[in-house]
Amino acid sequence: MKLDIEVWRQASPGAKGRFERHSIDGVEPHLSILELLDALNEQLIDSGHEPVAFESDCREGICGACGVTVDGAVHGPENNVPSCHQRLVHYRDGATIRIEPLRSASFPVLRDLIVDRGGLDDIIRAGGTVAVDAGTAPDADALPIPESTAETALDFAACIGCGACVAACPNGSAHLFTGAKLTHLALLPIPALERTRRARSMVAEADGLFGPCSLYGECEQACPAGIPLTAIAAVNHERLLGGLRRRLNRRAG
């Protein structure tokens, strides 16, 4: 089938962007959005033009690098599916597809479809790691964890940091991302030792870099990892719990 593509072109962060229109013939419906961009770039290179810059890595829905906006929808027409798995079967012959970067004030465009998602890395650096001196490695059964707790922690750890939740939110909030990290680490015994410090630093970083939660739930529909809205509740829960623990520790001291 033949598809028309309106793709965003922007040479640098400070340059004025614009949409370019191209037509591609012989497109197979089973191809992904990224494979459509591959075909477009081959066509551009063959004609002596600059290819479209976009990010991708694993193309297996794991790395989170491929996020783009397709016809106004984060990642593409299917909910909870990354761009690399969005298929062209949703489009008819002769359809027009508009592809642009993830749109958020916190994700400035670097070039074409590539945005700077470094704010998410800043949240992780603020406390999304474990720095407890655990000594030698404990035996596997030294800290028993209920299976249901471990499975829940893994569900929240599935967040791939693609930024879809931020781009989908009208306020550009990163609460789903932040809450997923906080919940995952709070459920496990060794990371939970830093729970108070982590909540304080990560939530403060998220509040400073991103907008407040809009409470509409667009983030849950866009998230390719299926992170539930309960992660958003965890942000305030962990923040309040951290403040309560600090006050109790001061009184005890």
Q: How far apart are CA 99 and CA 5, in angstroms?
A: 7
Paired residues of 8 in beta bridges: 19
Q: Give the CA distances from residue 79 to residues 82, 142, 215, in Å, rounded to whole numbers and listed in that order.
A: 9, 41, 18
As a residue count, the chain comes to 253
pLDDT of residue 252: 59
Report d(CA 19, CA 24) in Å as an integer.
16
Residues near 242 by beta carbon (within 8 Å), at least 6 away in sequence: 195, 196, 197, 199, 200
| Helix/strand/coil for 109 | strand
Please report the domains of the chain, with CATH numbers, ordered by start residue.
3-111 (3.10.20.30), 118-252 (1.10.1060.10)
SS3 content of the chain, % helix, strand, coil (to 5): 40, 15, 45
Single-letter residue type at 49: H
Residues paired with 73 in a beta bridge: 70
Question: What is the reported pLDDT for 115?
Answer: 98
Nearest Cα residue to 17 out of 122, 153, 130, 112: 112
Kindly give the confidence (pLDDT) of every residue in the chain, 253 residues in length, as a single tens digit, with 9 standing for 90 and above: 999 999 999 999 999 999 999 999 999 999 999 999 999 999 999 999 999 999 999 999 999 999 999 999 999 999 999 999 999 999 999 999 999 999 999 999 999 999 999 999 999 999 999 887 767 766 767 788 999 999 999 999 999 999 999 999 999 999 999 999 999 999 999 899 899 999 999 999 999 999 889 888 999 999 999 999 999 999 988 888 866 666 656 665 5
Cross-strand bridge partners of residue 6? 21, 98
Residue with tokens 């030698």: 136
Work out whether strand 69-70 and strand 18-24 pair parallel, antiparallel, or are unpaired: unpaired
Which residue, 73, 99, 97, 36, is CA-closest to 164? 73
